[in-house]
Chains A and B, each alone.
Chain A
Amino acid sequence: MWIYEKKLEYPVRVYKTDPRMARFLSAQYGGPDSELSAGVRYLTQRYTMPTNKAKALLTDIGTEELAHWEIIATMIYQLVKDLSPEQMIREGLGAHFAEHDRAVYPADAAGVPWTAAYIQATGDPVTDLHEDMAAEQKARTTYEHLIRMTDDPGIKDTLRFLREREVVHFQRFGEALNDVQEELTRKKIF
């Protein structure tokens, strides 16, 4: 089960000099390589992992991804909360305002709603862990794009933290993959 802790994993400081970023940050809120995709993917794949280490890792990283999902939502929420409709239209957020006002919504940077088609759970742990490693690389790359797109120092700092986490997650999934492969080999021999 899940317990919610009433704090962000890392602070969000939005200097509000770059409201356009709200639209682009959506990529990590509801896009294909978003924190939402990561969280749902890992929390879904964990049920059919063959080793305790993999079950634990997917549960824990999946949970951390939801905490990141909250951080992205916070950035978007703070960027748009004081904007007038006219300002939103000017900053490329008109379509969002029409359908969502200043609400946060899980869609990608172009407004395409999130879908489970972004994730897989094949039931083959070697396949799933390879997907997870690829997912972490895709998320890292997306963060690198986003970091380049803004000069707001607060946003950049939080994005750098999130990017660094992807690198660490990739490392851990690689270790879990090795462990699973060893386990499967061991089962075959004996």
Chain B
Amino acid sequence: MEQRQMQMLREIQQLEFAAVELNLFLDTHPRDREPLNDLKTVVDRLHQLKEQYEGMCGPLTVQGFTPESYPWRWVEGPWPWEMVY
């Protein structure tokens, strides 16, 4: 995996982690506005980044951003346990 792709993946991981943290906090504080707004900001940025990343490296989820591209890229490696950071 190229340097640039790895940098994007790292940014996606960091943002998604922020989303998970906010998600768990909102589960026990569903009426707090600030974390909800923060989550929206994070998710919007994540969508942008994932679209770019998936265009280059194939889908992150089976539905992905480009399900119609040929051939079926979901099967491609590297798989997460094979990646060297």
With CB as the reference atom, state the residue of chain B lying closest to A176.
B28
Contact B62 A9, beta carbon cutoff 8 Å: no
Specify which chain B residues have a CB less than 8 angstroms from the CB of A9 in the assembled complex: 13, 16-17, 20
Knowing A4-B62, A8-B13, the reply to whether A53 touches B81 (Cβ < 8 A) is: no
Say whether chain B's binding surface is mostly helix, strand, loop, or mixed.
helix
Partner of A7, one of B9, B21, B25: B9
Contact B27 A53, beta carbon cutoff 8 Å: yes
Question: For A6, A12, A53, A73, which residue has the most chain B Cβ atoms within 10 angstroms?
Answer: A6
Nearest-neighbour CB distance to chain B for A7, whole angstroms, equals 5
Specify which chain A residues have a CB less than 8 angstroms from the CB of B12 in the assembled complex: 7
Partner of A61, one of B24, B30, B63: B24
Contact B28 A53, beta carbon cutoff 8 Å: yes
Nearest-neighbour CB distance to chain A for B30, whole angstroms, equals 7
How many residue-residue contacts, CB under 8 A, span A and B? 70
Partner of A168, one of B10, B24, B30: B24
Partner of B59, one of A6, A56, A64, A172: A6
With CB as the reference atom, state the residue of chain A lying closest to B59.
A6
Nearest-neighbour CB distance to chain A for B28, whole angstroms, equals 4
With CB as the reference atom, state the residue of chain A lying closest to B20.
A64
Contact A7 B80, beta carbon cutoff 8 Å: yes
One digit per residue, 1 when the CB lies within 8 angstroms of any chain A CB and 0 when it does not, for chain B 46-85 equals 0000000000000111110000000000100001110111
Contact A77 B81, beta carbon cutoff 8 Å: yes
Knowing A6-B60, A70-B80, A74-B81, the reply to whether A57 touches B28 (Cβ < 8 A) is: yes
Binding site for A on B (CB under 8 A): 9-10, 12-13, 16-17, 20-21, 23-25, 27-30, 59-63, 74, 79-81, 83-85
